[in-house]
Amino acid sequence: MQLLDLLHYMLFTVSQNKMEYQLSCEDMGMEDCDFVATGKTQKEVIANMQKHHKTVYKMSKDEVNSKEMVKMMKDNIQKI
Ligand SMILES: [Zn+2]
């Protein structure tokens, strides 16, 4: 596990009791990553997951904002 992943994981675990939606990297096909993005709204979850992809997977802003990427995230979001 990378340090950034760990930090994200800890941050989101701490604030998880107030969160409504979640999206895990595993659900998106990243089997080796245990990052879970959470948020009060689906929009927030997507923003968190986009941030994770930019920092951990070194994806560009355009890549994480692409229609395909956003659709894939929306399709996999779960209500907690
Ligand atoms: Zn990940």
Three-state secondary structure call for residue 14: helix
- 52 C-alpha to ligand 1 centroid (Å): 7
pLDDT per residue as tens digits for the range 1-25? 677 888 887 777 665 567 899 999 9
Domain residues for the domain of 63 are 3-79
Three-state secondary structure call for residue 39: strand
Distance, first Cα to last Cα, the chain = 24
Instruction: Say which amino acid occupies 54.
Output: K
The average pLDDT across 32-48 equals: 95
Instruction: Report the domain count for the chain.
Output: 1
- 54 C-alpha to ligand 1 centroid (Å): 10
- 57 C-alpha to ligand 1 centroid (Å): 7
Q: Residue 64: pLDDT above 90?
A: yes
- 13 C-alpha to ligand 1 centroid (Å): 15
DSSP state of 15: T
- 28 C-alpha to ligand 1 centroid (Å): 9
The average pLDDT across 38-62 equals: 96
